[in-house]
Amino acid sequence: MWSTKYKDKTFSIKCTPIDHGYRNEHMDEDGGILPQASNSLVWISVLEKGRSAPQAQSEYGAVYTPDCYMSFMIQTLEPETTGFQLDFYVYDGSGEENVPRHLGYSFLLPLDIVHSVNTRAVPITSLQHKPLGQIKFAYMVVKPMTGHKFDMSVSYQKYWKHTREPLDIGHRGMGISYHGSHMLATVPENTVHSLREAANHGADFVEFDVHLTKDKEVIVYHDFKVKITYKKKKNGGLELLEVPVKDLKLEELQNMKLWHKPRPANPDEVNSEDDLPADLETFPTLESCLNAVDNHTGFNIELKYPQELRTGTHEQEGYYDINVFIDTILRVVFEHHGGRRIVFSTFDPDTCVALRLKQNRFPVLFLTQADTTMYEPYGDMRTRSVPMAAEFCIAHDLLGVNPMSQVLLRDLSLIDYVKNSGLILFTWGEDNNNADVIDKLKKLKVDAIIYDRIDCFKTTKESIFKLEHKKKLEKLHDQYPSTIDLESPTNNLDSPGTSALS
């Protein structure tokens, strides 16, 4: 608000979907009132303790404070013709007691909603048609996933078996092998072999990141970019050039030679092996991993969607449309999951929301580095603390939060904050590569711990799910000894469609 008289005032904001499909019929020379969109539902959420759960708007919307995160969620059958009117009310004591005064409004027209995700700034106009100020906001359009039919026969989006012991999750399979860890894995990270080895050492889940290539193949890889060596003209020396993964085709990526020891300072020190076994090849497809790893090993699939950092820089410019990105990955998962337990996770709040809305089968976790100083912070307010992340999960009905363990160990009350909010709590980070820390987090009832070198810390060679499966078989064998073969590798009671997180 530009006027100083509104500087310290409290405002409330209301969002009304407007039907612009009838503008030709209802607008006259002097303008007119466009009808409210009849096929639209609106919920409002303010990320504060007790206000995060979505609710219907009051007559005056919801009270806005400068440090809060307010979101309007609109479901509509006609997004192409739906615009939005924002009404602003001020609590200045000029009206009846506790009743705000209508101050002005803003409009977002359908033609302004060009991209799936964007930020807009629009003027705030007074009831006398004079400029009062402006409002800047972000929006996201989540479209239904096409090519796959969902029903309500089964859904595990909010399911968790609370009687289980905390889960052990293998980070990138057997752990980081390139750099960044004091316990480097002996096999290349994010390969089929690494995922299998983690499964063979008792990992309940394996965690890994997925990206899209230029030809829209879903691959398993951690970074947004790869480093390619090129030879300089003058002295013939080799230099490293960063190229976005999204700008390279699958075949181009898989034909690269990558080193799988700690990254050398000298670009000449590249792995020279030309004929690696297929399961050791880098940039495996998600499909190949789903088909090659023991089905009793769950997958924690992290979707790497780039975000803007607080400094204003971006992790990766010109990325895929968020709907195209997510739909492409979901198609692979739903065609090849085979009944496997799957949990999605991502650092990007918008991707969390879209994943929750587009499918009704697998749960979604919100990854957050919170307020750690180890990494450059994101610009999105929802990423800045564990309590904010928890309130965000409540607002969008997510399974839970996956914060960095350093933040939890620094303030153990955050564990209670998340658990008392009814959310599942995973944790990740370098601090987890310690047997005492793993034991401490399990005693504090953290639901799952992601760490490197599961071969060094896991006490049993079989996952919780495989042990549960064996117990089911033994029970059935006692009841029907002539029909159940305990030694048969084909026995799988967790049939597709019933086992996702059961």
- Cα gap 163→256, rounded to integer Å: 46
| pLDDT value of position 240 | 83
* DSSP-assigned letter for residue 100: P
State percent of the chain over pLDDT 90: 65
Q: Which residue has the higher pLDDT, 266 or 474?
A: 474
Residue 9, C-beta contacts closer than 8 angstroms, at least 6 positions apart: 1, 90, 91, 92
Which tens digit of pLDDT belongs to each residue from 214-232?
Answer: 999 999 999 999 988 888 8
Which tens digit of pLDDT belongs to each residue from 443-469?
Answer: 999 999 999 999 999 888 889 998 888
| pLDDT value of position 495 | 40
**pLDDT band at residue 233 using 50, 70 and 90 as cut-offs:** confident
**pLDDT band at residue 149 using 50, 70 and 90 as cut-offs:** confident
- Cα gap 430→183, rounded to integer Å: 10
Residue with tokens 């928890």: 390
Across 390-425, b (16+ Cβ under 10 Å) vs e yields: bbbbbbbebbbbbbbbbbbbeeeebbebbbebebbb
- Cα gap 171→438, rounded to integer Å: 14
| pLDDT value of position 261 | 47
- DSSP letter for each residue of 351-419: HHHHHHHH-SSS-EEEEE-TT-SSSPPBS-GGGS-HHHHHHHHHHTT-SEEEEBHHHHHH-THHHHHHH
**pLDDT band at residue 500 using 50, 70 and 90 as cut-offs:** very low
Asked if residue 487 has pLDDT above 60, the reply is no
Q: Whole-number mean pLDDT of the chain?
A: 87
Q: Element (H or E) spanning 122, and its range? A: strand 117-126
* DSSP-assigned letter for residue 143: P
**pLDDT band at residue 33 using 50, 70 and 90 as cut-offs:** low
Residue 459, C-beta contacts closer than 8 angstroms, at least 6 positions apart: 202
Compute the chain's Rg from CA coordinates. Answer: 26
Which tens digit of pLDDT belongs to each residue from 247-299?
Answer: 999 999 999 877 544 444 454 544 445 567 888 889 999 999 999 999 999 99
pTM recorded for the entire structure: 0.90
Asked if residue 92 has pLDDT above 90, the reply is no
State percent of the chain over pLDDT 70: 88
**pLDDT band at residue 416 using 50, 70 and 90 as cut-offs:** very high
